[in-house]
A = this chain, B = another copy of it.
Amino acid sequence: MNLVLLAASDIIPYTSKALLRGRRHAHVLTVHRARPGDVLNVGLEDGKMGQGRVLRLTDTELEMEVAFSAEPPPKVPVILAVALMRPPVLKRVLQTAAAMGVPQIHIFHARRVEKSFWNSTSLAPAEVREQLVLGLEQAKDTVLPSVVFHKRFKPFVEDALPDLLQGRRGVVADPSGQPLSGEAKGPAVLIIGPEGGFIPYELEKFLAAGCVLAGMGPRILRVETAVTVFLSKCS
């Protein structure tokens, strides 16, 4: 936790003090091993970053005097659209995408996605939010990415995707594509399929929507690695 992310509700009304219990309190107590007087990096959710001076740290509560002055770092110009993954992989991808500064994440269905994944509790808003917050706390950012789930492929590719592609290139990760070149940077929608890849029908739909295919050479990477590799090449 390189930054303690505070929600508006963590601020004691009409004061510049924050009061924390639960995970963040426990982390500051046991990992940071902070003491009264210590100064921690803090950020206000969707707002500025600053410092928090520890006023009181008990077994159950952390009270800080907080002040906010700096803007959070800019987001990358890349929207991430990725086929739904196994729950533990989904968690890591959400966390990593938030840490890398992705402003918008779309999770969609594809033929080779196991249908049961859609019943996972990790899709619940509170679970999603938890992973995003962990990513922001790691990277020192305050602005939560938006996450949209598309349970059916066709409405995603026909209705949602064209809007996302306004002013952005669409890049589909697929072994048949040419490797991304150094000119890959700039506004983009980065589309990554399930572990087994897209089926031909799905690739045709993406091409019809104006996307290009981009490969990464002969190696097949896990989805979470591919997300990081493509994000770092695009941004």
Residues of A within 8 A of B (CB): 2, 73, 96, 99-101, 138-141, 182, 217-222, 225, 228-229, 232-233
Contacts and interface: CB of A to CB of B under 8 A. Distances in A.
10 contacts: A73-B217, A96-B222, A99-B219, A99-B222, A100-B221, A100-B225, A139-B220, A141-B219, A228-B232, A229-B232
Contacts of A96: 222, 225
Given A228-B232, A232-B228, A140 B219 contact: yes
A139 B2 contact: no
Given A182-B182, A232-B233, A233-B232, A140 B218 contact: yes
| Identical copies in the complex | 2
A138 B99 contact: no
A224 to B, nearest CB: 9
A178 to B, nearest CB: 16
Nearest to A139: B219
A101 B217 CA distance: 11
A112 B19 CA distance: 30
Contacts of A217: 73
A52 to B, nearest CB: 18
A65 B225 CA distance: 33
Contacts of A228: 225, 228-229, 232
A198 B221 CA distance: 29
A2 B220 contact: yes
Contact of A222 (B138, B140, B232): B138
A193 B217 CA distance: 28
Given A99-B222, A138-B220, 20 more contacts: A2-B220, A73-B217, A99-B225, A100-B219, A101-B219, A138-B221, A138-B222, A139-B219, A139-B220, A139-B221, A140-B218, A140-B219, A140-B220, A225-B228, A228-B228, A228-B229, A228-B232, A229-B232, A232-B232, A232-B233
Contacts of A221: 99-100, 138-139
Contacts of A139: 219-221
Contacts of A229: 100, 228, 232
Nearest to A231: B229
A229 B225 CA distance: 9
